[in-house]
């Protein structure tokens, strides 16, 4: 009987990756851990040192070796530089998607193979991977499902990846960690930008990009005030716009509906139900497919998520000559943001996705 391949688990220091390693070890796999450092700016918000110490404790508790690798240069070149370029262009990027493709399932996988691993595993909430021929399937815990962020990973990487948490809820994961005596069983979930963490975002972004102040305009053209730079706003944003009290227009909140780059203007509308916030059609760049899509007919029946935790919505998908997509939704979608991703699903499978380029009411 052939020996099982070594499984290298990405150990972040959090409870999810710890339980992923625990479950694989209990299932009889040879397991080792690999902790990644991808952000080295030493400030009050950086948790890299604490994360590493937690990862060390996890591997000590589980009795498995822990390796350490620094991918911060690759992260800056392949993820963070794109993140800044997208913001500078007036779009709303999602760095977690690139981080998964380039770092967690790119540089990490290559390094794991150099260490002798035949497979990798993560604490993502998803199913499939190596157990389903490389398919990417929704997690049982739909509130924690992370397939939206995994849709751009190469199928060859998914084919050698295990997702031990795919059939568990977060509560079950913490319970398993507690019963196993893992010290990090109640460690808070990480939040914020992938590897950069939770921090005052406007202040952070201003350290890399200069926002040019300009006018805030109502959809109808009325001048309402001044913004501090388009980089600080996104479609659908409600708080922090900076429109003071007005004698007319009622008490409904103002929302960002567009960023007019040519005029350096922030366009806003009053009320969440304003028509300018709703789109039935969007266009994308060329898609990344996780499995073969042989002809346009195979796009029938797919549903699309326009953001994480958004319910996949029914749409009609057509393909342009350059490979880009046009999605016409059965029902209008709220606050579609260029730079984010339209991720496509069958009933329980993520089949790919693409960057959103434009959105319109019809």
Sheet holding 119-121: strands in order across?
A: 66-70, 31-37, 7-10, 119-121, 161-162
Distance CA 268, CA 176 (A): 47
In Å, what is the CA distance from 41 to each residue of 45, 46, 246, 361?
9, 7, 42, 42
**Phi and psi (nearest 5°) for 167?**
-105, 15
Give DSSP secondary structure letters for 10-26: E--SSHHHHHHHHHHHH
Contacts 24+ apart (CB under 8 A), 130-136: 130/158, 130/159, 130/160, 130/161, 130/162, 131/162, 131/163, 133/159, 134/158, 134/159, 134/290, 134/291, 135/290, 135/291, 135/349, 136/290, 136/349, 136/350, 136/351
Closest CA to 186 of 177, 196, 197: 177
The DSSP code for 191 is -
Cβ-contact 125, 118 below 8 angstroms = no
The 10 Å Cβ neighbour count of residue 126 is 24
Q: Which of 59, 194, 315, 350 is catalytic?
A: 194
**Phi and psi (nearest 5°) for 352?**
150, -170
The whole-angstrom distance between residue 349's C-alpha and the CA centroid of its chain comes to 17
Q: Note if 194 is an active site residue.
A: yes
Cβ-contact 32, 115 below 8 angstroms = yes
The continuous run of DSSP H or E covering 147 comes out as helix 147-150
Q: Which of 46, 59, 99, 297 is catalytic?
A: 99
Contacts 24+ apart (CB under 8 A), 314-319: 317/344
Sheet holding 214-218: strands in order across?
A: 223-227, 214-218, 265-270, 254-260
Cβ-contact 153, 289 below 8 angstroms = no
- Residues designated catalytic: 99, 194
């Amino acid at each position: 009987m052939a020996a099982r391949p070594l499984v290298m688990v990405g150990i972040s220091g959090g409870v999810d990756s710890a339980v992923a390693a625990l479950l694989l070890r209990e299932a009889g796999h040879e397991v080792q851990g690999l902790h990644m450092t991808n952000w080295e700016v030493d400030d009050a918000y950086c948790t890299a040192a604490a994360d590493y110490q937690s990862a060390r404790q996890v591997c000590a508790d589980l009795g498995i070796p822990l390796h350490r690798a620094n991918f911060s240069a690759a992260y800056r070149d392949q993820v963070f530089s794109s993140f800044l370029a997208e913001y500078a262009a007036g779009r709303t990027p999602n760095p977690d998607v690139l981080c998964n493709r380039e770092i967690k399932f790119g540089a990490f996988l290559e390094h794991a193979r150099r260490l002798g691993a035949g497979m990798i595993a993560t604490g993502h909430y998803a199913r499939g991977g190596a157990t389903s021929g490389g398919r990417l399937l929704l997690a049982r815990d739909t509130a924690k499902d992370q397939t939206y962020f995994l849709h751009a990973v190469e199928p060859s990487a998914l084919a050698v990846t295990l997702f031990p948490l795919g059939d568990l809820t977060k509560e079950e994961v913490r319970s398993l960690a507690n019963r196993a005596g893992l010290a990090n069983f109640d460690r808070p979930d990480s939040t914020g930008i992938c590897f950069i963490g939770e921090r005052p975002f406007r202040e952070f972004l201003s350290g890399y990009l200069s926002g040019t102040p300009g006018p805030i305009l109502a959809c109808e053209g009325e001048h309402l005030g001044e913004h501090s730079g388009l980089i600080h706003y996104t479609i659908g944003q409600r708080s922090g716009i900076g429109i003071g009290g007005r004698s007319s227009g009622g008490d409904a909140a103002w929302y960002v509906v567009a960023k007019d780059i040519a005029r350096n203007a922030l366009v806003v509308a009053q009320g969440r139900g304003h028509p300018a916030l709703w789109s039935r059609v969007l266009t994308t760049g060329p898609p990344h497919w996780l499995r073969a899509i042989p002809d346009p007919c195979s796009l029938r029946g797919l549903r699309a998520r326009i953001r994480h935790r958004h319910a996949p919505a029914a749409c009609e998908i057509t393909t342009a000559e350059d490979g880009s997509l046009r999605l016409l939704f059965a029902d209008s979608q709220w606050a579609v943001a260029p730079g984010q991703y339209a991720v496509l699903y069958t009933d329980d499978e993520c089949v790919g996705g693409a960057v959103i380029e434009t959105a319109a009411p019809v």
